Amino acid sequence: MSMLGLTKLPKSVVLVGMMGVGKTSVGRKLAKRLSVEFKDSDQEVEKAAGCSVADIYNWYGESAFRDTEKRVMTRLLSEEPHVISTGVETFKDDETRQLILDKGFSVWLFATLETLYPRVAGRSHRPQLETGDKMETLQRYINDYYPIYEKADFRIDCDNRIPDTTSDLIVQEIARRFWDTTE
């Protein structure tokens, strides 16, 4: 579906979901399709704090990270509409989730354990998975977070889909919800 002839994106599209689901790759493709900027909330937190997410956790603790993340999301959602990929836990915070639901269009990128595990198993930049059995830890995250992700405005199944197809489906849903495409 071409974006030609469609009006400006009415609000930012916020991608939520589990690590390894493809929020960044889908987000970049989606932003290009919508002719808007792409921003990664973790990178924006790092810019605001002047240090890495890991350093924020180690030096100041999780509550400092969550506070910074909430302020960054507030700023991002007050800017011109764009595509935002979020960290795994961003949507878990009640206030941040409500902010996203009020000011953005949230899209849960859903995938099964069978899809996610091979994508994250061999990578070391996922500190949440570095203690204990990675598959068990990932399953625990899925059990805890999927009921929260279900509160997103839209769910899209990413199993066996390439980012191009996923972004096309999101564009179709945005057109259906925000632009009258029946004319």
pLDDT in tens, 19-44: 889 999 999 999 999 999 999 998 99
Give yes or no for residue 124 having a pLDDT over 70: no
| 55 CB-near residues (< 8 Å, 6+ apart) | 49
Mean pLDDT within 46-57: 85
Start-to-end Cα distance in the chain? 15
Mean pLDDT within 78-96: 93
Q: How far apart are CA 12 and CA 79, in angstroms?
A: 8
Give yes or no for residue 132 having a pLDDT over 70: no
The predicted model scores a pTM of 0.89
User: Is 73 in contact with 100 (CB distance < 8 Å)?
Assistant: yes
Mean pLDDT within 86-102: 93
Q: Which domains does the chain have, with CATH numbers?
A: 23-175 (3.40.50.300)
